[in-house]
Amino acid sequence: MNETRRQKQRAAVNEEIKEVARRLMVEQGTAGVSLRAIARQMDMSAPALYHYFANREALITALIVDAFNALADHVEQAREAAGSRPLGERLMAVLLAYRQWALANPVDFELIYGNPIPGYDAPQEVTAPAAARGLAALAELIAEVGQGRGPAAEEYQVIPPELEPFFQALQKREGYDAPLLALYLAAVAWSRVHGILMLELVNQLQPLVGDGELFYRSQVEAMLRGMGLKG
């Protein structure tokens, strides 16, 4: 009983540290994660943090894993909320959710998809599984793509032959049961929305196309229509 109370307290403080770190990252940038600054914000001494994280690296790793998971959660939730609507709509919902999360949490997005933090090396064993989850919702949706597609533009009808071996390897490695073409289209879709998003996040897109959301939406729609998934 009492033990539980201490554990709860511990978990709460652990969470608070990460929250404060995220808040500070918004102001200082991802490279600015500082144990002393966090402690100051929390009215604690800096050494106390070492009871929660082995060192600064460990904290950053935790933040990265959290970010990957939060993004994946958000995307999966959007997919579930789209329920049994037509595939095209569900894909749309998922891709919009990706953007929405990125804009709502730009610093976490930077943390996982932006510049590496100087002096920090992400331990792949810890990070990679969480990163893979980010693709899960998309990949699973895409498993349905094989069935019931409308007419697709030539660009999306076949996987480029030179890429086939890689997607075959991916399929085998991850145990996906989606058809190869579906995996390929997922990768294409992801890289495209990501490009728009990154440019928007660093304010390089707006001078060009004015409204980031409108451009994003129109690109996704055009792409899904091209892929024969929009009916």
Residues that bind its own copies (CB under 8 A): 28-32, 110, 113-119, 128, 131-132, 135, 153-155, 160, 162-163, 165-167, 169-170, 187-188, 190-199, 202, 204-205, 207-211, 214-215, 218-219, 221-223, 225-226
Part of the chain binding DNA (CB under 7 A), chosen from 28-36, 138-146, 165-173, 183-191? 28-36
Query: Which class for 58: exposed (0-12), middle (13-18), buried (19 or more C-beta within 10 A)?
Result: middle
Residue 166 sits at φ, ψ, to 5 deg, of -65, -40
CB of 6 to DNA, least distance (A): 3
Tally the residues of the chain. Answer: 231
CA neighbours within 13 Å on the CB side: how many for 85? 16
Tokens of 225: 């229509």
**Residue whose CB is less far from its own copies, 13 or 217:** 217
CB of 54 to DNA, least distance (A): 8
**Residue whose CB is less far from its own copies, 21 or 187:** 187
**Residue whose CB is less far from DNA, 46 or 70:** 46
Task: Tell me which residue of 222, 201, 45, 46 sits closest to 108, measured CA to CA.
Answer: 201
226 makes contact, choosing from its own copies, DNA, none, with CB < 5 to 8 Å by partner type, with: its own copies
Q: For residues 37-96, which are near DNA according to CB under 7 A?
A: 37, 40, 43-48, 50-52, 55-57
Residue listed under structure tokens 């998922």? 94
CB of 4 to DNA, least distance (A): 7
DSSP string, 100-160: HHHHHSHHHHHHHHSPPPTT----HHHHHHHHHHHHHHHHHHHHTTTSS-----GGGTS--
Instruction: State the residues that interact with DNA by CB under 7 A.
Output: 1-3, 5-6, 10, 13, 33-37, 40, 43-48, 50-52, 55-57
